[in-house]
Amino acid sequence: MTLPPHRPPSHPPRRVVVTGLGLLSSLALDRESTWAAMLEGRDGLGPLTRLSLPMEPAQVAGQVAMEPGRHQTLCECMALKTLEEALEGHRFKGDPGRLGVFQGAGTSGLPVAEAYLETRLAGRRGRAAEPAYQSPCVITDALARRLGAEGPRSTIMNACSSSLLALGQAWERLASGELDAAVAGGAESLCRTTYAGFSCLKAVDSRKCRPFSRDRAGLNLGEGSVQVLLETLEGARARGATIYAEVLGYGASMDAHHATAPHPEGEGAARAMAMALRMGGREAADVDLVSAHGTATPANDGSECLAIRQALGAAAKTVSVTSTKSQFGHTLGSAGAFGAAAAILALRDQVVSPTLRLEDPDPACDLDCTPLQAKERQVRAALVNAFAFGGNNVSLLLARWEGA
């Protein structure tokens, strides 16, 4: 495995910490209720009711107990709710030009586009504003308006690694000194076009998904939102903020292998993890948790476990691996942020959430994938993985906050 040349920054990077976390899922509409349910081994998967797709054989999904607002999409409602939870009442008092918003998007405005098309085909005009709500940047703009943020805002559409790349890029802007704070994450809602597309790929399981299992047969789609408040350590300390974890760095790579399938040997994924470790100044032996992409598709899980072994070497034998998709389903553009949320809370509480329904592990997934039950253990550092169609790989490195 060859890494690109490392170019150290011209000045020491500023330390960046997580000071807020909003989490809304098919398990619960707030962070602590969702986390408690995860540790109890519950999932938010059930019969598909939000969408009418009687022709599809797979009818299992993760759906939030929330509806769109009168003038807001479901994604926007979820994103704003998780923003408020992440802020915990804090209002940014510094230069608004040093506050940024970074969002990952996948399905994005497709549900709005579907509804608008039906309206037009039925001969009705529809609302004049509806075409604007189809834009992927609607969520980013809504969050920026609520925050009064005048710094850079970025909407990243990198398929299923989008929100993790958003977190990585936000960290980069803070570490470089360009920003003092940022909100990063993603929000996704179910949509018929995306559901049908995954079904055409035969990637959707008709049962609840089983990451890392011998009989895994595909993913379940899900929806929800995660928003993370990042601040420089200096700024967080100055206002006495609660610190959940520290962000150390990230790695991003490209397989250049196939439009939908991961590299069978996990080369690009391993490279992303190794880059994150190098950027964060940590060794493989420092990592206690991998919050995996873990989609439960036949192709992904084996190649990801191979990539973890490549990146961590002998340390892979002692690391805990977990997949949030066994609890929420695959939330597409927001999936990486969901994985990051699970890692942040694991670092805070020193417990790893379980991979559900992992009763018969695939021999190709011969790591400790935290089957069935949560596991209390030391978690010093965590890698979060998100891999996307086209071979877009991202890995984020987080560390427990020790108050240093």
Which is nearest to 223 in space by CA: 138, 107, 130, 143? 107
> Can you tell me the distance from the alpha carbon of 225 to that of 213, in angstroms, rounded to the nearest whole number?
27
Give residue 130's pLDDT. Answer: 62
Burial class (CB in 10 A: 0-12, 13-18, 19+), 50: middle
In degrees, to the nearest 5, what angle opens at C-alpha 366 toward C-alphas 364 and 309?
Answer: 90
Give residue 334's pLDDT. Answer: 97
Residue 90 known to be catalytic? no
Give residue 86's pLDDT. Answer: 98
C-alpha gyration radius of the chain? 20
- Each residue's pLDDT tens digit in the chain (404 positions)? 666 665 555 567 899 999 999 999 999 999 999 999 999 999 999 999 999 999 999 999 999 999 988 778 899 999 999 999 999 999 999 999 999 999 999 887 777 777 777 777 777 876 655 666 667 788 999 999 999 999 999 999 998 999 999 999 999 999 999 999 999 999 999 999 999 999 988 999 999 999 999 999 999 999 999 999 999 999 999 999 999 999 999 999 987 766 666 777 889 999 999 999 999 999 999 999 999 999 999 999 999 999 999 999 999 999 999 999 999 999 999 999 999 999 999 999 999 999 999 999 999 999 999 999 999 999 999 999 999 867 789 999 999 999 86
Residue-range domain boundaries for the chain: 16-400
State the DSSP string of 145-198.
HHHT--S-EEEE-BTBTHHHHHHHHHHHHHHTTS-SEEEEEEEE---HHHHHHH
β-pairing, 45-47 vs 245-254, is unpaired
> Can you tell me the distance from the alpha carbon of 189 to that of 204, in angstroms, rounded to the nearest whole number?
16
Which is nearest to 43 in space by CA: 56, 22, 25, 31? 25
Give residue 29's pLDDT. Answer: 98
> Which helix (H) or strand (E) is 268 found in, with range?
helix 267-280
> Can you tell me the distance from the alpha carbon of 240 to that of 188, in angstroms, rounded to the nearest whole number?
32
Catalytic residue of the set 293, 305, 365, 369: 293
Residue 305 known to be catalytic? no
> Can you tell me the distance from the alpha carbon of 358 to that of 209, in angstroms, rounded to the nearest whole number?
10
Give residue 351's pLDDT. Answer: 99
**H-type alpha helices, 3-133:** 31-39, 74-87, 110-121
> Can you tell me the distance from the alpha carbon of 387 to that of 177, in angstroms, rounded to the nearest whole number?
28
The set of residues, in sequence order, having a beta carbon less than 8 Å from that of 126 and lying 6+ positions away, is 116, 119, 120
The set of residues, in sequence order, having a beta carbon less than 8 Å from that of 42 and lying 6+ positions away, is 27, 327
Residue 330 known to be catalytic? yes
Which sign, positive or negative, has the C-alpha torsion 71, 77, 79, 83? positive
> Can you tell me the distance from the alpha carbon of 143 to that of 84, in angstroms, rounded to the nearest whole number?
10
In whole angstroms, how far apart are CA 187 and each of 63, 82, 263, 338, 397? 13, 9, 27, 10, 21
> Can you tell me the distance from the alpha carbon of 311 to that of 277, in angstroms, rounded to the nearest whole number?
9
Catalytic residue of the set 160, 305, 365, 369: 160
Architecture field, domain 16-400? 3-Layer(aba) Sandwich (3.40)
Give yes or no for a contact between 164 and 384, defined as CB atoms under 8 angstroms apart.
yes
Which sign, positive or negative, has the C-alpha torsion 125, 155, 308, 323? negative
> Which token pair is 144?
């920026």
Which is nearest to 365 in space by CA: 374, 355, 375? 355
Give yes or no for a contact between 226 and 328, defined as CB atoms under 8 angstroms apart.
no
Give residue 253's pLDDT. Answer: 93
